[in-house]
Structure formats: C-alpha cells, structure tokens
C-alpha cells in the first residue's frame, strides 16, 4: 500500500512538471501560429487536457480521507 502511494506521488510530481512544460509549449505555438485550429495545436491541447484530468484524478485519490 505504501509503495503504491509512493509511486502515485511520484507520478503526480512528474505529471505536474510535464503539464507545465506542455502548457509552455502550447502557449508558444499559439503565440506563433495564426490559425489556432491548427491540428498540432488541437492535438497538444487534447494531450494537455488528458494529463490535467489524470493529475486531478490522482490528486483526489491521494487526498487523505477525513
């Protein structure tokens, strides 16, 4: 149980870093690209959405029960 929690905490930290990097990359792409419906932008945005969803799910699961 403790090992599983440690793995989930590590995944949470790793996801947080990846989300920040992806968000920065997406912001750069949006600043440069005139067409915000560009498939690369939409794809990266969907990827970011999935990472944020996973992060939130992990955070809720790891939150101490009161």
Per-residue pLDDT of the chain (66 residues; tens, 9 = 90+): 678 889 999 999 999 999 999 999 999 999 999 998 999 999 999 999 999 999 999 999 988 765
Residue showing tokens 């968000």: 23
Which residues neighbour 58 within 8 Å (Cβ) at sequence distance 6 or greater?
8, 11, 12, 15
Which residues neighbour 48 within 8 Å (Cβ) at sequence distance 6 or greater?
19, 22, 23, 26
Q: What per-residue confidence (pLDDT) applies to 66?
A: 55
The 8-class DSSP code of residue 63 comes to S
Q: What per-residue confidence (pLDDT) applies to 50?
A: 98
Q: What per-residue confidence (pLDDT) applies to 3?
A: 80
Q: What per-residue confidence (pLDDT) applies to 25?
A: 98
Residue 40, Ramachandran bin (φ over 0: left; ψ between -120 and 50: alpha; else beta) = alpha
């Amino acid at each position: 149980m403790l090992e599983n929690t440690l793995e989930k905490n590590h995944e949470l930290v790793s996801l947080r870093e990846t989300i920040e990097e992806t968000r920065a990359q997406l912001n750069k792409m949006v600043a440069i690209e005139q067409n915000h419906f560009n498939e690369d932008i939409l794809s990266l945005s969907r990827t970011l959405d999935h990472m944020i969803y996973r992060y939130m799910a992990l955070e809720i699961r790891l939150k101490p029960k009161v």
